[in-house]
Amino acid sequence: MFISLVGSRIEEEPNLLFDKADTSAVHPQVYWGLRRFGPYDKSASKLRLVIIGPRDKAKQIKGLINSLNNGTSIMPGGMQRFFRCTLEIVDEMIVNSMETQEYERAGSMFTRRWDPRDVDVVIAYIPKTSRYFSNTPYYRLKAILASEGFVSQMITHQTFERLKWAYLNLASAIFSKAGYAPWVLESEMPRTDMILGISISNFVSYKHRAGERPRYIGYANIFDSYGKWMFFEGTAKPYTKDQSIEQLKELIGKAIEKFKAEKGFIPRNIVIHYYKRFGKKEIKATINILNELLGEDNYSIAFVSIDDSHPIKLYDLSTDDGSFPRGYYVYLGENDILLSTTGFTKIASMRMGTPRLLRIRLKQHPNEFLTIDDVALQVLSLTKLDWATVAPFVREPVTLRYAREIAYLTAAISEEEWGRITRPEVNAILSKRPWFI
C-alpha cells in the first residue's frame, strides 16, 4: 500500500508596490519596480553618511558612493532614479589596522564625536570574517555604534569583487537603514492587521554557537498588513529561569501600544511568527496579555510556527534541477504544511542546492480567521520584503529573517551594550530603522 501527500500551489507571485501615493506603481520584481517607479517612500532627499575604514579603502568607498549617486550599468540614473535621493559623505574616520581593537577604538571615538540624529548611516569597511566568530570587527563595531544609536552598513572586499549587483543591494540597505521603506506588498494581507516576528529567550550562544555570553533576551519585529516593517521592540532584562513568559508579555504589550500610536487603530487580527513550535505556556501567556490589553472578545490571534530545522525534502523531477517549485506546498495535517520558497520559479534562474522547506503550523484563538492556505500566501509574500537585498526573494519570510539577524548580533553584544540599545533615547532612533539587517 502506498501513501501519498496532497498539495496545492500559489498561482501568482505576489506583487510589490513602489509608491505610497500611486497604486499603479506595481511590479512583481524589486529591481524593475525600483528602476521604473523609485521607492515606496519618496520623502528622503539626502542621506548623510560617515565612512570608517583604512585610508585606501575609505577612498574606494568614496568612489563607490560616487558611482551610486551618478549611476552604474545596472543602476542607470543612480540613487536619484532608484531611490529619489542622493548620498552625502559628511565625515570619515581612518582605522590604522584591520584588527578588532582598532575598530573598537575608532567606533568609540566616532560615537563621542557625532550625534546620531546628524548621521543617517555609518559605512564601515571591515575584513571578511565568518559569522561563526563573535569577536570580529563586524560584530564589535556594529555593537558599539548601535549602543549609541548609530545605524551601520558594513562593506568587505567581497562587496567590491561583486560590485555590479552589490551597488543596488547596498543602496537598498542604506536607504532602509536611514528609515525609509523601499517597497511593500501591493495587496493587503487579508484579515490581518499586524504581524509580529518574535524570538524569545533564545539562548543564542548555545543555539548558534556564537559568543561566550548567555543571551536570553526577547525581541520582536512588527510588520503591517502590507508586510511593511514598522518597528523593532526588545526587552533588556537579564535572564532568570521562566522569565520568557514575562518577556513575551512585555514585548506584545509594547508592540500593540506602539502599533496603535503609529497606525491610529488597535490591531484586532494579530499574527505571530515564531521559528519553532509554540509551547502551551507561551500560547496561554499571549492570550492572557491580549485579554488584558484588548478584552476577551475583541481580537483574534494566529500562532504561526515556521520551522526549517527538519530534514523533510520534496522533489519534482519535471523541473530542470529536480527542485520542488517555489509557491508549491503539501499538507502534512489540517493546519500543517510544507512550503517551498526557493525551488524552481520563472522569476529567478539561479538556484543553489535543494530547497529547505518551511514547515508551517497554525493555531488560532478564539476564532479561526485565516486558513492554512492564507498563511502559505502570507509567508511566500513575506519572502519578498527583505530590504537588505534586491534579489527577487529570500528563503525565509522577513519576519524570521530579521529575527535571525538580531539573534546573531545579540550573541556578540554585551549586556551593557544591549542595555544601552534599549535606552529610550537610543530606542527612539533605532526602533524605527532596521539597523540589524
* Options 109, 312, 347, 428; binder of other proteins; rule CB under 8 A: 312
How far is Cα 87 from Cα 71, in angstroms, rounded to an integer? 12
334 binds other proteins (CB under 8 A): no
Interface region with other proteins, contact rule CB under 8 A, candidates 7-15, 38-46, 103-111, 291-299: 7-15
CB 107 within 8 A of CB 140: yes
What is the nearest approach in angstroms of other proteins to the Cβ of residue 338?
8
Segment 344-363, which members bind other proteins (CB under 8 A)? 351-355
Q: Which is nearer to other proteins, 210 or 385 (CB)?
A: 210
Q: Which is nearer to other proteins, 306 or 330 (CB)?
A: 330
Taking every pair of Cα atoms in the chain, the longest distance, rounded to a whole number of angstroms, is: 73
Q: Count CB neighbours of 435 within 10 A.
A: 25
* Options 29, 72, 111, 134; binder of other proteins; rule CB under 8 A: 134
Segment 183-212, which members bind other proteins (CB under 8 A)? 205-206, 209, 211-212
What is the nearest approach in angstroms of other proteins to the Cβ of residue 250?
23
What is the nearest approach in angstroms of other proteins to the Cβ of residue 7?
4
Interface region with other proteins, contact rule CB under 8 A, candidates 109-117, 260-268, 318-326, 364-372: 318-326
What is the nearest approach in angstroms of other proteins to the Cβ of residue 203?
8
Q: Which is nearer to other proteins, 329 or 435 (CB)?
A: 329
What is the nearest approach in angstroms of other proteins to the Cβ of residue 214?
5
How far is Cα 33 from Cα 18, in angstroms, rounded to an integer? 6
* Options 313, 348, 367, 428; binder of other proteins; rule CB under 8 A: 313
Q: Tell me which DSSP letter residue 323 carries.
A: B
* Options 90, 332, 391, 429; binder of other proteins; rule CB under 8 A: 332
What is the nearest approach in angstroms of other proteins to the Cβ of residue 98?
16
How far is Cα 284 from Cα 287, in angstroms, rounded to an integer? 5
Q: Which three cell numbers stand for residue 72?
A: 552604474
Q: Count CB neighbours of 130 within 10 A.
A: 8
How far is Cα 234 from Cα 411, in angstroms, rounded to an integer? 14
State the first-to-last Cα distance of the chain, in angstroms, to the nearest integer.
49
Q: Which three cell numbers stand for residue 142?
A: 556594529
What is the nearest approach in angstroms of other proteins to the Cβ of residue 395?
14
Q: Which three cell numbers stand for residue 12?
A: 501568482
- Mention every residue, 6+ apart, whose C-beta is less than 8 A from residue 185: 14, 15, 16, 17, 226, 227, 228, 381, 384, 385
In the block, residue with C-alpha cell 533564545: 202
Return residues touching other proteins (CB under 8 A): 1-9, 130, 132-135, 205-206, 209, 211-212, 214, 310-324, 328, 330, 332, 343, 351-355
